[in-house]
């Protein structure tokens, strides 16, 4: 029997961003230079396939530093960033710490610190409990930074009289949702200080832009990524907002419910910034087994961003 035809619009950019590449490379380089075990505080990036792959190579993932035994094995901080208390604890315990925080997250940390030093109260637009938000809030003393998630949160803000305000944002948010919150903050507090440069990172913006372009053109859309990946969830939301009838966030081909994709003629595919291209290829191969697919790449931006490895890993350890 001949297979039904299926046009696939493959979003570009998609998949790994420079910060994710740097973080994964940091773990692999540490394993190469120092040998296993290499301890990693939290998931290095939010993708189970990547984490499991690194675990097989000798990475040991821990929730907190108290799970790391004394010794000279490296311990790496994830791309999402950590509160200041974490490197302080590592220093106190004389652990060999390597910080793989994405430089664009570090930029937000520095912004928050500068605002605090200048006497401003900092508002952080982000999602409660996300590791990046925990890390950013942990850059400042308790009470110096307030999390804003919703318009209702904006309405509840009661800064002290004469208190200057500034805001920063999580790097992986929905561009459109964040714009709504920023507009509400500026309407309520006209003097609020904005970031010098957009905090939502280039990769988040570019991937959402590609999905925004493709989603109205297809019958269904697959976002390759993990459920706990903020940027992948935002891609799903963007596709739904743009009117795509069926949007699924899927990690592996085995997760596909084929009944849902029975009658489609055009499929959009993208991947979150922590999803490797091998998973995109796996899902395309699975569709190729059932359909006569014709793949077209739809590019809406060029990316050439590169971040060097953490300083401790740029040269092999002596001896």
Judge contact between 79 and 105, C-beta under 8 A.
yes
- Is residue 318 scored above 70 in pLDDT? no
Active site residues: 132
Residue pLDDT, tens place only, 24-66: 999 999 999 999 999 999 999 999 999 999 999 999 999 999 9
Q: What pLDDT does residue 76 have?
A: 98
Question: What is 5-16+202-299's CATH topology?
Answer: Cobalt-precorrin-4 Transmethylase; domain 1 (3.40.1010)
Q: What does the pLDDT average to over 146-173?
A: 97
- Is residue 319 scored above 60 in pLDDT? no
- Is residue 317 scored above 90 in pLDDT? no
pTM of the model: 0.93
Judge whether 18-102 and 104-188 match in fold: no
Note the CATH number of domain 18-102.
Answer: 3.40.50.11270
**Percent of the chain residues past pLDDT 90, beyond the cut:** 96
CA 113/CA 133 separation, integer angstroms: 14
Intra-chain end-to-end CA distance of the chain, in Å:
63
Q: What pLDDT does residue 183 have?
A: 98
Q: What does the pLDDT average to over 205-226?
A: 97
Residue pLDDT, tens place only, 304-315: 999 999 999 987
Q: Which pairs with CB-CB distance under 8 Å and at least 24 residues apart come from 90-95?
A: 90/65, 93/65, 93/68, 94/70, 95/65, 95/68
Judge contact between 232 and 205, C-beta under 8 A.
no
- Is residue 287 scored above 90 in pLDDT? yes
- Is residue 244 scored above 80 in pLDDT? yes
Q: What pLDDT does residue 316 have?
A: 53
Note the CATH number of domain 104-188.
Answer: 3.40.1010.20
Query: Considering the chain, what is the average pLDDT of its residues?
Result: 96
Domain boundaries, the chain: 5-16+202-299, 18-102, 104-188
- Is residue 1 scored above 80 in pLDDT? no
Residue pLDDT, tens place only, 79-103: 999 999 999 999 999 999 999 999 9
């Amino acid at each position: 029997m001949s297979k039904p035809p299926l046009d696939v619009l493959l979003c570009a950019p998609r998949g790994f961003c420079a910060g994710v590449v740097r973080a994964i490379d940091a773990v692999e380089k540490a394993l190469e230079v120092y040998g296993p075990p290499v301890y990693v505080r939290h998931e290095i990036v939010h993708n189970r396939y990547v984490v499991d792959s690194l675990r097989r190579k000798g990475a040991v993932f821990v929730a907190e530093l108290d799970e790391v035994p004394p010794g000279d094995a490296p311990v790496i901080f994830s791309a999402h960033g950590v509160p200041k208390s974490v490197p302080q604890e590592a220093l106190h315990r004389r652990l060999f710490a390597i910080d793989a925080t994405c430089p664009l997250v570090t930029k937000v940390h520095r912004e928050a610190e500068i605002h605090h030093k200048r006497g401003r109260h900092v508002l952080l637009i982000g999602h409660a409990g996300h590791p990046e938000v925990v890390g950013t809030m942990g850059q400042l003393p308790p009470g110096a930074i307030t999390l804003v998630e919703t318009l209702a949160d904006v309405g509840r803000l009661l800064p002290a009289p004469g208190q200057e305000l500034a805001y920063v944002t999580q790097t992986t948010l929905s561009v459109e949702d964040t714009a709504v919150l920023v507009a509400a903050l500026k309407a309520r507090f006209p003097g609020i200080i904005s970031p010098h440069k957009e905090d939502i990172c280039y990769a988040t913006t570019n991937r959402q832009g590609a999905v925004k372009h493709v989603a109205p053109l297809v019958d269904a859309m697959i976002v390759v990524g993990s459920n706990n990946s903020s940027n992948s969830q935002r891609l799903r939301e963007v596709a739904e907002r743009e009117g795509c009838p069926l949007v699924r966030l899927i990690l592996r081909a085995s997760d596909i419910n084929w009944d849902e994709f029975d009658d489609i003629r055009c499929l959009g595919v993208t991947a979150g910034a922590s999803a490797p291209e091998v998973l995109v290829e796996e899902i395309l191969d699975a569709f190729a087994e059932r359909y006569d697919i014709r793949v077209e790449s739809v590019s809406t931006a060029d990316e050439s961003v590169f971040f060097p490895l953490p300083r401790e890993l740029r040269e092999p350890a002596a001896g």
